[in-house]
C-alpha cells in the first residue's frame, strides 16, 4: 500500500519508468507513505473513446491511488495535488490534442486488505 495505477490513452507517448519514478517520489515526499510500500504501474489503453466525437484528437491520463482508510480529506487532497503536479512536470504532451488529466484517491478497507511481504 499504496497502489498507484496510471492509465493513459495510446495516442500519448509516455516514458513509463521515469514517470512512475517521479510519481513515486512525489508520494514519498508527501510524508504519508514508505518508499518500499508503493506499488505503481502504467497501463496503455489502445481501445478508448473520449466523449462522442470518434475523430476528435482527445486523450487522457487517469491516475488512481488506492490507500488504506484513515487519512483525512485534506491529506487525500494534498496527495492528489502532488500527483497532479508531478504527472504534468517535464512532460511534452502532443500539440493539437485535447488532454484531460485526472487523479482519484480511493480508500481500501484496512479490515479486508491482505499483504504478505516475502523476504
Write out pLDDT tens, residues 8-43. Answer: 999 999 999 999 999 999 999 999 999 999 999 999
Number of domains in the chain: 1
Q: Is residue 119 part of a domain?
A: no
Helix, strand or coil for residue 69? coil
Write out pLDDT tens, residues 36-73. Answer: 999 999 999 999 999 998 888 999 999 999 999 999 99
**Which residues, 6 or more positions from 32, have their beta carbon under 8 angstroms from its beta carbon?**
67, 71, 75, 79
What residues make up the domain containing 107?
3-112
Give the CATH number of the domain where residue 54 resides: 3.30.429.10
* pTM of the predicted model over 0.85: yes
Q: Is residue 117 part of a domain?
A: no
Amino acid at each position: 500500500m499504496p497502489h498507484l495505477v496510471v492509465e493513459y490513452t495510446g495516442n500519448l507517448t509516455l516514458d513509463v519508468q521515469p514517470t512512475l519514478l517521479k510519481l513515486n517520489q512525489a508520494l514519498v515526499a508527501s510524508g504519508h507513505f514508505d518508499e518500499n510500500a508503493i506499488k505503481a504501474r502504467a497501463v496503455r489503453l489502445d481501445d478508448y473513446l473520449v466523449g462522442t466525437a470518434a475523430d476528435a484528437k482527445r486523450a487522457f491520463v487517469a491516475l488512481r491511488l488506492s490507500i488504506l482508510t484513515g487519512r483525512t480529506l485534506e491529506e487525500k487532497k494534498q496527495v492528489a495535488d502532488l500527483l497532479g503536479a508531478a504527472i504534468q512536470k517535464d512532460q511534452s504532451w502532443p500539440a493539437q490534442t485535447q488532454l484531460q488529466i485526472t487523479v482519484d484517491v480511493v480508500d481500501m478497507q484496512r479490515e479486508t486488505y491482505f499483504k504478505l511481504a516475502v523476504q
